[in-house]
Amino acid sequence: MVTLAIVETTPAVRRAVRPGVTLVQLHDELWRVTRQTGEVLGYIERFAEAQGPRFRAKRMLVQQRRFMVVGEFWSFDEAVDCFAW
């Protein structure tokens, strides 16, 4: 398990809490998804498609030291729902 001590260092970092998860926007195209305890669950990336922005949810597999793409979605909320279980 990877756990991060969350320290607010800049007001530019935006946070959102959803049931079961906390989202920290790292930059315009990337959010870290953690449990309320600080355990990192994965990341959500925004990327461009011809039809508009898409969101890729990637779950962190700690013991395998890699990420697994859970899915690509047209809405940010759908990508977050992959982690809220």
pLDDT tens digits, 45-73: 999 999 999 999 999 998 888 899 999 99
The mean pLDDT of 76-84, rounded to a whole number, is 88
Mean of pLDDT over the chain: 82
Q: What is the pTM of this model?
A: 0.77
pLDDT above 90 for 9: no
pLDDT above 80 for 74: yes
Q: Between 17 and 62, whose confidence is greater?
A: 62
Residues 14 and 9: their CA atoms lie apart, in Å, by 11
The Cβ of residue 35 has, within 10 Å, a number of other Cβ atoms equal to: 14
